[in-house]
Structure 1
Amino acid sequence: MRSYDLTPYLRSTVGFDRLFNDLVDNATKLETGGYPPYNIERTDENHYEITIAVAGFSEDDLELEVIDRDLRVTGRRPTEGDETREFLHQGIAGRNFDRRFRLAEHVHVAGAELKNGLLTISLEREIPEAKKPRKIEIGAKSEGPKVLKASNAA
């Protein structure tokens, strides 16, 4: 088993967010094969796309599910009728696959589309208001709970 140390590359990069790092870490740990090939693209600050080459698969042959923060893409092709086919050369891979991606916190699947043999999965990061950064003005006092003086009526 091969182990790749990406530490030197990660130290010299600036601007890559946690989603990319999580996906790279998990791709090197979980996936041993390269089928089917895929791209991960950052379209803007909070949107990402995973494009998977699934030539020969129809929408009925593909299944996407998210369990906890794991995105699982499965491709199963029916085997009926394959015994009568005789290939002289078979270069188009059509084997079953199970590809997994670990999603970063606050990232969810916004949709998926199959077009021209490419499955495109749209991801969106939605950070809750409570976790978004906010500016605090220097010298501004926050009004805390007011304490009323207790009366001496006994």
Structure 2
Amino acid sequence: MSHIAVAIARFDDEAPFVRARSHARDRGLRVLGEWCPFPPSSLPEHYQARAVVWTVAVAGIVGALAFFVLEWWTAYDYPFNSGGRPLFSWQVFIVPATEFLALSGAVGGVIALFVAARLTRLNHPAFDFEEVMHASRDSFVLALACDTDDSANSAMALLADAGATHSRLVEA
């Protein structure tokens, strides 16, 4: 083969799917996609949501600090005598900055979630496969990259040994 092929397989249960995924990673095969009706019980480390949590925290803190600086700047640049209080009345500035912390953290979290879940694409070529269309309802689907004829044969054998109910090789 001079171009890449995709070995795509459908599994009815979670156990054979997880077994095939781990065997493929152990043999050095590149996993192009994994589609499941629910999250598998043994999620790999790249599915961790730590990036989203840190993005929410950083966006919230940066947003609150930026809003606090904006309030401080406007208090001096546009002074307003309100009951004889000093211009930098930080006690009053804390409440709106805290509200903006929550708002900016939520917006940052939604943006991070969309980016981490790769939901910014309107169409993905994987949805042209019939197996992927059924993955959200009743089956587990695994797609492996095959660069040569030998890797295609070994990928198909691996998927069959793991317990795939249906597998095929697609020229990409």
Please classify the TM superposition score into its range, dividing by the shorter chain length.
under 0.3
Structure with greater strand share of residues: 1
TM-score calculated relative to the size of structure 2: 0.22
Greater relative CO (CA pairs within 8 A, separation 6+): 2
User: Larger % of helix: which?
Assistant: 2
